[in-house]
Amino acid sequence: MPSDLEALWITVKLALISTALLLLVTPPLAWWLAHSRARWRPLAEALVALPLILPPTVLGFYLLLLFSPQYFPGQTYQALTGSTLAFSFTGLVLGSMLYSLPFVVQPLQAAFTTLGKGELEAAATLGMSKLQRFTHVVFPMTRHSFVLAGMLGFAHTLGEFGVVLMIGGNIPGETQVIAITLFEHVEALEYVRAHVLAAGLLITSLVLLLFIYVGMDRRKRRWGYW
Amino acid sequence: MGLLVVAMRLELALAGKLGEFEFDLQLDQVMDGALGVFGPSGVGKTSLIRAIAGLERGLPGRIVLDGEVLQDTAAGIFVPIDKRRIGLVFQDSRLFPHLTVRQNLALALRQTRQPIFSIQELAHECCFSELLDQPAPSLSAGQRQRVAIARALIAAPRLLLLDEPLAALDMASRQHLLDFLQRVSARIPLLFISHSVAETLQLCDPIAVMTSGRIAQIGPGEAMAPSLPKRRGLGTVVAVDPASGQVTIQLDEFAPDLALAQVVGVVSEPSWLKGRE
């Protein structure tokens, strides 16, 4: 049981850290996708959406290669920190960020697309810099989409399995997450412990989604839009 | 109000296409008081002020304000909008919907180090003191436009561009705001776009007339008045002949010239006409 709690803690920590990082890092990408007229934007959009349909093991396989010391990213990381990127919590965070990327980017992109440029032009003529326009106009006007993006990213990372299996190495206390612990319980025929984890994940995901949909509904009723 | 104003010069030479529309805008004007830009819809008045504000990157050429080069396409100069200190009142207000009226003004006030107006003063002048703590989206179109004018002013721009700012207002507040803008123009030069002859004549001197994509004429208000189209005025009935149904009407100076057998529309109550032009 303590190993289950440990796995739960790793999972929540992983989901929180990767979601927070995604929310910090991806708004410029979402903004670019929403407004760019570059010819290769559809390619960028397709790449962002790829984790939606790609088997997680495929993503995990390539990440495993990239993270290994034979290749440049893994090599650089090892040279800088002295430890390997594969089978580490940091590697897991990077993998989760890619895995949950579309769940965070797409709601933000949709919000930025519908935001329109009127208020932003007005802000600029008042003398507000790009950063001020983001913090004082864009973010407050789209903060509900930031909440939605964060919740979706968090919920999606909670259920991560394939990517973690490939790059995590299932090290208790370091890279062992609940989805894999659950799998191990089933393999060991420990159905009671499997039930606890499975039902826990099921209920958590359902509650998160309920929060999202109730919030969207209420906003739609009040403002006529999400 | 009523400080010494050092006249500033606006030089403009822009030529090019925006979409299918051809522009050739030439202007060299000392901005002192209110410059009116008059013209029917679709001649590019809005594009002109968007270019001056820095919102239109598609028009190549040169813009110099007060000796500072704001745009020089040949030299690769384009001063970003937020560095120009040119205010703009949009036709559609564009208040920040997540803020109250007061917060909209406060945010604009924070953008200047030398404020000219206070929130209270502008709320009083533009008649929305009682609306200060309302959320911006709850305001009517006319109220929003009054707040938008105040918001642009409170950021203390060195030049204020106004795009049909009074279009959404009723007659009484139009007159009130025209008087206010008149006083403002003694401190901040204005460039006022309108397709209302009466508004342009009352507030602006000089007046520029635009025809498709170019500034066709510019001159003192009095000199330009006769060449402005008269479109809408008042008539006073001076004689009625019930037997024949013929009515003699005395037209005022803004009323269009009528010809024999011309069919015209008639309303009995002038306030039903949105703004007397």
Whether residue B87 and residue A122 make contact (CB cut-off 8 A), yes or no, is no
**Region B43-53: what's the mean pLDDT?**
92
Instruction: Decide if A122 touches B, using CB distance below 8 A.
Output: yes
Residues of B in contact with A129 (CB under 8 A): 82
User: What is the percent of chain A with per-residue pLDDT over 70, rounded to a whole number?
Assistant: 96
pLDDT of residue A122: 95
pLDDT of residue B1: 47
- Give dist(CA A151, CA A212) in Å, integer: 7
- Residue B20's nearest CA partner among B55, B53, B47, B51 is B47
Per-residue pLDDT reduced to its tens digit, B190-233? 999 987 888 888 889 899 999 888 998 898 888 888 777 766 77
pLDDT of residue B4: 55
Residues of A in contact with B88 (CB under 8 A): 121-122, 125
* CB contact at 8 A, B24 and B215: no
Residues of A in contact with B53 (CB under 8 A): 125
Whether residue B96 and residue A141 make contact (CB cut-off 8 A), yes or no, is yes
What are the structure tokens assigned to B74, written together? Answer: 């040949």
Whether residue A137 and residue B96 make contact (CB cut-off 8 A), yes or no, is yes
Most confident of B31-45, B121-135, B221-235: B121-135
Amino acid occupying residue B143: Q
- Give dist(CA B274, CA B172) in Å, integer: 11
Summary mean pLDDT of chain A: 89
Size of interface A-B (CB pairs under 8 A): 61
Per-residue pLDDT reduced to its tens digit, A79-119? 888 888 888 889 999 999 999 999 999 999 999 998 878 99
Residues of B in contact with A140 (CB under 8 A): 96, 98-99
From the CA of A122, how many Å to the nearest CA of chain B?
Answer: 6
Helices A2-25 and A89-115: crossing angle, nearest 10°?
40
**Above 70 in pLDDT, residue A186?**
yes
**Region B125-134: what's the mean pLDDT?**
93
Residues of B in contact with A137 (CB under 8 A): 96
**Region B29-52: what's the mean pLDDT?**
90
**Region B43-67: what's the mean pLDDT?**
92
B78 burial class (0-12, 13-18, 19+ CB within 10 angstroms)? middle
Whether residue B82 and residue A119 make contact (CB cut-off 8 A), yes or no, is no
Higher per-residue confidence, B205 vs B119: B119
Most confident of A23-27, B6-10, B260-264: A23-27
pLDDT of residue B276: 43
- Give dist(CA A175, CA B248) in Å, integer: 94
| Chain B residues with CB within 8 Å of chain A CB | 53-55, 80-83, 85-88, 90, 92, 94-99, 107-108, 111-112, 148, 151-152, 155, 157
Whether residue A126 and residue B92 make contact (CB cut-off 8 A), yes or no, is no
**Region B33-38: what's the mean pLDDT?**
91
A125 burial class (0-12, 13-18, 19+ CB within 10 angstroms)? buried
Nearest by CB to residue B82, choosing from A118, A119, A127, is: A127
What are the structure tokens assigned to B173, written together? Answer: 């507040």
ipTM above 0.85, yes or no: no
- Residue A31's nearest CA partner among A124, A146, A136 is A146
Whether residue B96 and residue A124 make contact (CB cut-off 8 A), yes or no, is no
* Chain B nearest-CA residue for A140: B98
Helix then strand count (H, E) for chain B reads 7, 13
